[in-house]
Amino acid sequence: MSTRLSNIKKAIKYLNKNDCIAIPTETVYGLAANAYSDKATSKIYKLKKRPKNNPLIVHYYKLEDLEKDCHINSNFKKLYKKFCPGPISFVLKLKKNSSISKNVTNNKNTIAVRFPKHPITRNLLKKLKFPLAAPSANISKSVSPVTKGDVIDEFGNRIKFILNGGRTKIGLESTIISLVSKPTILRLGGIERNRLNKILDTKIIMNNSPSKILSPGQYKLHYSPGIPVRLNVKKAKIDEAFLLISKRKNKSKNFFYLSKNKNLKEIAKKLYQTLRKVKKLGYKSIAVERIPKKELGETINDRLQRASNY
């Protein structure tokens, strides 16, 4: 049996026993458990040290499975057709007869759902009899993991199994859009705002203000590497890690390139890993060059802004 297959078998074994494991997605690694089980989902909160009122995203393999748990509508269908599987989560109305654990939704009548694209996790979901609740696989408020090593950094041996899927392709979490009433973006993410506007043929409103928290992932301090982060810096101090997005003529050991030619996809992909790396190297603060706010740059700036509220 290939290692890949035997690992999926192991993953299934743990999940069927109501344990949590880490799974790769195209955005970041998730801490996954049976979304239908109170016991399994309560372990996620405990391991992540996550407040109980912060609901979880549920991951599905196919539409028919999702329709057992929530109501879909025409806006959902349009976005689903264009972007799924992919880095977008939808907040929808929960069905009364759904088997989703109340831990997942914090007893509310809405649920966040998505179809991840990573082939290993799709293969896993296909073989399970239940969907997977999976928040990012990090301790609450810290930086999301993009490799197996990052997950080990977060949980050490407190996690029983990590399904290895290599470094995640996108490196930032999914975009969250609520479709319960008027479409509203609750969290910027892997799909740019303009692409969503185009499909729904409207300028979608945003609500990521911390005063009206619909999506607690929008708390002001989040995605934090645990040391101060300064933004829009032209010249860093010598003892600061300097994260750059375009090539400099001079060299310095505190320079860390997210990209050498302002490539936003590359910057997104390297951001979390670089934040982790410079902290490990012992830097006590981080300076980041200005990153354009267009396209994926809007999400990157959102995360950096929250990381900088240290």
Residue 94: CB minimum distance to ligand TXA, A: 8
Residues in binding contact with ligand TXA, number by CB under 6 A: 27
Question: Judged by CB under 6 A, which stretch of 52-60, 198-206, 247-255, 278-286 contacts ligand TXA?
Answer: 52-60
Q: Please return the burial class of 181, using the count of CB atoms within 10 Å of its CB with bins 0-12, 13-18 and 19+.
A: exposed
Q: Identify residue 4 by its one-letter amino acid code.
A: R
Query: What is the maximal distance between C-alpha atoms in the chain?
Result: 63
Residue 174: CB minimum distance to Mg ion, A: 10
103 binds, among ligand TXA, Mg ion, none (CB under 5 to 8 A by kind): none
- Closest residue to Mg ion in the complex (CB): 136
Residue 290: CB minimum distance to ligand TXA, A: 26
Q: Does 98 bind ligand TXA (CB under 6 A)?
A: no
- Indicate the SS3 state at residue 307: helix
Q: Does 215 bind ligand TXA (CB under 6 A)?
A: yes
120 binds, among Mg ion, ligand TXA, none (CB under 5 to 8 A by kind): none
Q: Does 15 bind ligand TXA (CB under 6 A)?
A: no
Measured distance CA(15)–CA(133) in Å, rounded:
11
Beta strands in 163-288 (DSSP E): 175-178, 184-187, 205-206, 229-230, 241-244, 255-257, 286-288
Beta-ladder partners of 89: 114, 176
Among residues 7, 41, 75, 89, which is the contact residue for ligand TXA, using CB under 6 A? 89
Whether residue 95 contacts residue 69, with contact meaning beta carbons closer than 8 Å, is answered with yes
Using CA atoms, how far residue 106 sits from 52, 56, 94, 112, in Å, is: 7, 9, 12, 11
Nearer to ligand TXA, 115 or 242 (CB): 115
240 binds, among Mg ion, ligand TXA, none (CB under 5 to 8 A by kind): none
Cα-flanking dihedrals φ and ψ of residue 149, to 5°?
Answer: -60, -40
Query: Tokens in use for 310?
Result: 């240290």
Among residues 19, 30, 34, 243, which is the contact residue for ligand TXA, using CB under 6 A? 30
Residue 144: CB minimum distance to Mg ion, A: 6
Question: Judged by CB under 6 A, which stretch of 64-72, 197-205, 208-216, 298-306 contacts ligand TXA?
Answer: 208-216
Whether residue 242 contacts residue 256, with contact meaning beta carbons closer than 8 Å, is answered with yes
- Give just the sign of the alpha carbon dihedral 77, 26, 123, 119: positive
Q: Does 20 bind ligand TXA (CB under 6 A)?
A: no
Nearer to ligand TXA, 100 or 286 (CB): 100
Binding site for ligand TXA (CB under 6 A): 25, 27-28, 30, 54-57, 89, 91, 105, 108, 110-112, 116, 134-136, 173-174, 176, 186, 214-217
